[in-house]
């Protein structure tokens, strides 16, 4: 069974600063996908970034980047130049290759302070 652990229930940071959200996971599979989804107050779940486990290069999407450490089973999200619109709940998610089920962490509530 897969598990995802997010040890930071809440974080806050000043606008324009950089923040890193932590995530560790466990899976018995060697091939899998990792995702960060954000859920703003509107409740809509939105994909932020994805990483294939077989790729060594860390994924980047504009201000969002990940630090993927496969041996340590760690997958942190870095948000640079944070903006007020980044205020949301952030979920770390895993999906094994060949299994379409997403397993979610408990989430980190991020607040960007003006």
Partner 1 sequence: DAGVIQSPRHEVTEMGQEVTLRCKPISGHDYLFWYRQTMMRGLELLIYFNNNVPIDDSGMPEDRFSAKMPNASFSTLKIQPSEPRDSAVYFCATERGPGTEAFFGQGTRLTVV
| CA dist., res. 113 & res. 24, Å (int) | 26
Nearest-approach distance from CB 106 to partner 1, in angstroms: 5
Nearest-approach distance from CB 79 to partner 1, in angstroms: 20
Mask 69-98, x = binds partner 1 (CB under 8 A)?
----------------------x---x-xx
Strand partners of residue 62: none
| CA dist., res. 54 & res. 33, Å (int) | 9
Q: Restricting to residues 15-74, which ones interact with partner 1 according to CB under 8 A?
A: 33, 42-47, 50
Q: How many positions of this chain bind partner 1 (CB under 8 A)?
A: 20
SS3 assignment, position 85: helix
Q: In this structure, what token pair is assigned to residue 51?
A: 């990483």
Q: Which positions lie near partner 1, rule CB under 8 A?
A: 33, 42-47, 50, 91, 95, 97-98, 100-107
């Amino acid at each position: 069974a897969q598990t995802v652990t997010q040890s930071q229930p809440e974080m806050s940071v000043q606008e324009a600063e950089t923040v890193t959200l932590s995530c560790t996971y466990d899976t018995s599979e060697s091939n899998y996908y990792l995702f960060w989804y954000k859920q703003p107050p509107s409740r809509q779940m939105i994909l932020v970034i994805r990483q294939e486990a077989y790729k060594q290069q860390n994924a980047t999407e504009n201000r969002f980047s990940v630090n993927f450490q496969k041996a340590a089973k760690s997958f942190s999200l870095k948000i640079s130049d944070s903006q007020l619109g980044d205020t949301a709940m952030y979920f770390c998610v895993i999906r094994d290759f060949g299994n379409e089920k997403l397993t979610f962490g408990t989430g980190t509530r991020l607040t960007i302070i003006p």
